[in-house]
Amino acid sequence: MGTGFFSSVDDVSAQLAEVGYLASTAVATTVFLADRLGKPLLVEGPAGVGKTELAKAVAAVSSSRLVRLQCYEGIDEARALYEWNHAKQLLRITAGRDETWEDARTDIFGEEFLLRRPLLQAISGTESTVLLVDETDKADVEVEGLLLEVLGDFQVTVPELGTITATRDPFVVLTSNATRELSEALRRRCLFLHIDFPDPELELRIVKLRVPGIDAALADSVVRVIAALRAMDLRKLPSVAETIDWARTLLELGAGTLDEQIVRESLGVVLKHQDDITKAGAGLKLDQVLDAS
């Protein structure tokens, strides 16, 4: 059973646009299917193309609580699922020195001493929830197994308390930058969506929406230069987020047009490595880029 956030693909597009997320037809369709089928949505693509923002946008339009599990190398069950508040347990044991261990154990392994981490938070709440498992590819394979277990039935067994089952299934978004291959088992559990850099027309719409007041010609120039930079052999290609940052920077600088000087002075907003900046400075033919039809 799905969460019922959206009534159609067009409804997805319209609602996401209301919170500033312009979705392609492919994105809107996959989000709609994930919503209707109740399946986790695995979103892959380069950094900065809107994977995390998609989950935030779904939470915003559905008035849902956003629960985020940020993955990193070495994350374990205690950080992802739950752990016990050992300091509080120790204080409780110390306070009740005259009681038997059996009495103390029954008390200290209760709800009051349980620290709910994101996965348990997402399935134990009663309100509408969007669970974002961000940068899943940075976690170890063991964490993938944990995700499969939790996302399979949306339930968790805490040995001391029993099984906790979701009363309301969350809408789940897992993101990946594809720094490593995720397991086939996890992929089978999810609907898959690849988000790449948007085409120039969509990126221009995004810039105009996210940078109110920018001149149309300047916005068009920004998108053209970004496309030219992405065609170069750079260590890190500029993301959509950096396109928006650059457009805002140019607006703050009062730039009406792009020229060699303003590009050279502000390129650090777009490119994050000195060798990329050097390469772009030498290889970017601004006149040709801006004159292209």
For residue 109, the model assigns a pLDDT of: 77
CA dihedral 274, 287, 253, 277 (to 10 degrees): 0
pLDDT of amino acid 104: 62
pLDDT of 159 reads: 84
Give residue 255's pLDDT. 87
Per-block average pLDDT, block size 10, for the chain (293 residues)? 87 96 95 95 93 97 97 92 86 70 65 89 92 95 89 87 89 94 93 95 94 93 95 93 95 88 91 93 85 65
Q: What is the structure's pLDDT at 226? A: 95
Strands 41-44, 171-176: pairing kind: parallel
Check residue 92 and give its pLDDT. Answer: 76
Got the DSSP string for 76-135? -HHHHTEEE-HHHHHHHHHHTTTS-HHHHHHHHTSGGGEEE-HHHHHHH-SS-EEEEEET
pLDDT for res 160: 82
pLDDT for the residue numbered 162:
84
